Amino acid sequence: MNPTTILVAEDDPAVRQGVVDALTFSGYHVMAAEDGKQAMNYALSTQYNLLLLDLVMPHHSGFEVLEALKRNRPGQPVIILSARGEEADRCKGLKMGADDYIVKPFSVRELLARVDAVLRRSNERAPSVDEFQFTKGTASFSRREILYSDEKTKTELSEKESELLLYLVTNSGRAIAREEILRQVWNLDPKGVNTRTIDMHVAHLRSKLKDDDQSILQTVRGKGYMIAS
C-alpha cells in the first residue's frame, strides 16, 4: 500500500522543516512547497492526500490556492496553517473549502491529531465503488470487465479504461474537464499537454458500454465528460 502523501505549503523555512520532519517521522510521505508559486503548481499537478496550506506566501496567497483547488480539484482535503488567528480569516478559509484551521504556533501533537482527523473523515466520505450498473449491463472495477445483461457475454476493460470509468462514475452528475482527468487518472500535469488519449479512451468506453447515443457517458460542450446521474 502506498504511504499517505501530504503536501506542505509554507514559506517560513523553520516552520516548514519542522512540519515536514514531524510528518515524516510519523510515517507520511511529504512534499514541500516553499512559496505560493510552487504551492499552486504542486497543488494542481501532483497526487497527494492532504494539503497543509499557509495563508500568507509570496507570489500566490493560500486563499488563491484554495480558489484554484475549488475550481479544479473540488473536495481536496486542506488544513490551513497560519499565524492569522482572526475569526474572519478562519471563516473565509473554511467557506472556501478548507477542512480545518490551525493557528501558529501549534504543537506537533495538535498537528498530528488534526491531520489524522481530516484524513479519517476524507477516507470515510470517499465513495467505495466496485460496480457500475447501466442499461445494458454491469461494469466491475475489481475484475476490470463488463458483463452484458442481455447476451450474458462480457468484455475486458484496460487498466486506464477502468480507472477513467471509475473516476467518472465516482463524480457522476459533474462534468469533468480533460485537465482534471489528466491529473487524476493519468497523473500528468495538463499544462502544455496536447493529447487525444482521453478522447480515444472515452470512445473505447462508449463502445464497450454500447452507448451509441451517448446517453451514459456524455460530452458536455466546453466542460468535459460526465456520467449521467
Looking at residue 185, its pLDDT comes to 83
Residues 55 and 108 in one domain: yes
Q: Do 17 and 114 share a structural domain?
A: yes
| Domain range for 215 | 131-227
Q: What is the pTM of this model?
A: 0.58
Same domain, residue pair 119 and 11: yes
CATH number of the domain that residue 99 is part of: 3.40.50.2300
Into how many domains does the chain fold? 2
Instruction: For residues 143 and 67, state if they share a domain.
Output: no
Is the CB of residue 4 less than 8 Å from the CB of residue 119? yes
Residues 115 and 11 in one domain: yes
Instruction: Kindly state whether residues 58 and 105 are assigned to the same domain.
Output: yes
Answer yes or no: do 35 and 120 share one domain. yes
* Confidence at residue 227, expressed as pLDDT on a 0 to 100 scale: 92
pLDDT at 194 (0 to 100): 67
pLDDT score recorded for residue 44: 87
Helix (H) or strand (E) holding 32: strand 29-33
Looking at the fold, whether 48 and 26 belong to one and the same domain comes out as: yes
Distance CA 51, CA 78 (A): 5
Question: Which parts of 34-156 are beta strand (E)?
Answer: 50-54, 78-82, 100-103, 131-134, 137-140, 145-148, 154-156
Check residue 124 and give its pLDDT: 56
Distance (Å) of CA 226 to CA 6, 24, 52, 68, 75? 29, 38, 30, 21, 17
Say how many C-beta atoms besides its own lie within 10 A of residue 43's C-beta: 24
Residue 217 near residue 168 (C-beta atoms within 8 A): yes
* Local confidence pLDDT in tens for the 229 residues of the chain: 457 899 999 999 999 999 999 999 999 999 999 999 999 999 988 888 899 999 889 999 989 999 988 887 777 899 998 876 666 777 788 888 888 888 888 899 999 999 998 888 776 555 557 899 998 999 998 889 999 988 779 999 998 999 999 989 988 888 888 888 887 788 777 776 667 889 999 999 999 999 999 999 999 998 899 998 6
Cis before 74? omega within 30: no
| Boundary of a domain, candidates 81, 100, 125 | 125
148: which strand partners? 137
C-alpha cell at 71: 475550481
| Last-in-domain residue among 67, 102, 125 | 125
